[in-house]
Structure 1
Amino acid sequence: MIRMIAIILGFQLVGEVASRALGLPLPGPVLGLVLLALACILHPALAEAIRPTASGLLSHLSLFFVPAGVGIVAHWDLLRVQGLGLAVAIMGSTALALAAGAWAFSVVARLTGTEDRQALKDQGRE
């Protein structure tokens, strides 16, 4: 298990180093995750080897939010002053993201003809 955690963290480290060295606008952990996914596609044995460890980490994912909670408590005064603006920004960006996702889905459905087939299924014609 420790070996598998080291492999996962190694990919994160490689992603972080590559992101900083190349000046990429992509966070290092994201780049590391992409590299890990590619490695798992190219070497299915790797995917099977890290699956139990990855599942264990995912089942305890809530523990990774503890540092964020500590950060909120540590900056409570700033949050009290800027909290309304942050709340509006978070709710607004969430609404825009949902609207953009729905719009993209409808465009793709229209382009692929999926929208029409679903209407026919609903009417019992297909």
Structure 2
Amino acid sequence: MLGAIGLLLACQLVGEVVTRGAGLPVPGPVAGLALLIVILRLRPGLAARIRPTVTVILANLSLLFVPAGVGVIGNLDALSAHGPALIVVLVVSTLLAMLAAVGTFIGVRRLTERPAP
């Protein structure tokens, strides 16, 4: 278990160092995840060894959202002051994201459809 957690944290650390050192506009954990994917493609047996640890981490992922919830509660004054604006922004951005997804789906479907013989 320690080896798997060490690998995950090492990949995240390398991702942070690379993105900050090179000034890339990519979050360090994303670069670390890309590195982990490359490592797992090069050593497929490693995936089976880290799977139990990763399964436990994913099963308890909701615990990682507790700090975000505490942050929201800690900033209730800002939420009450800007609540209506935040709700409008959330609703509009959600609708725009859904429309973009539908538009992308329709565009890909048109590009991949074959004409009937």
The normalised TM-score by structure 1 is 0.85
Match of residue 11 from structure 1: 11
Partner of 1:61: 61
Gaps of 5+ in 2: none
Q: Within 5 Å, which residues of 2 pair with 1:31-42?
A: 31-42=31-42
The answer to whether the aligner puts 1:72 opposite 2:72 as a matched pair is yes
Q: Which runs of 4+ in 1 moved over 2 A?
A: none
Give the structure 2 partner of residue 51 of structure 1: 51
- Unaligned 5+ runs, structure 1: 118-126
Q: More deviation in 83-92 or 66-75?
A: 83-92
Q: Deviations over 1:21-64 (max 9, x none)?
A: 11111111111111111211121112111111111111111001
Name the CA distance, whole Å, in 2 between partners of 1:61 and 1:75.
23
CA distance in 1 between partners of 2:62 and 2:81 (Å): 27
Q: What amino acid maps onto 1:41 in structure 2?
A: R
3-state secondary structure, aligned to 2:24: coil
What secondary structure, in the 3-state scheme, does the structure 2 residue paired with 1:24 have?
Answer: coil
Name the structure 2 match of 1:90: 90
1:79-118 equivalent positions in 2, closer than 5 A: 79-113=79-113
Displacement of 1:97 in angstroms is: 1.0
SS at match of 1:12: helix
Task: Report how many residues are paired.
Answer: 116
1:101, CA displacement in angstroms?
A: 0.9
Query: In structure 2, what residue type is equivalent to 1:67?
Result: P
The alignment yields a C-alpha RMSD, in angstroms, of 1.5
| 1:30 and 2:50 matched | no
**Greater CA drift, 87-96 or 6-15:** 87-96
Identity of aligned residues (%): 47
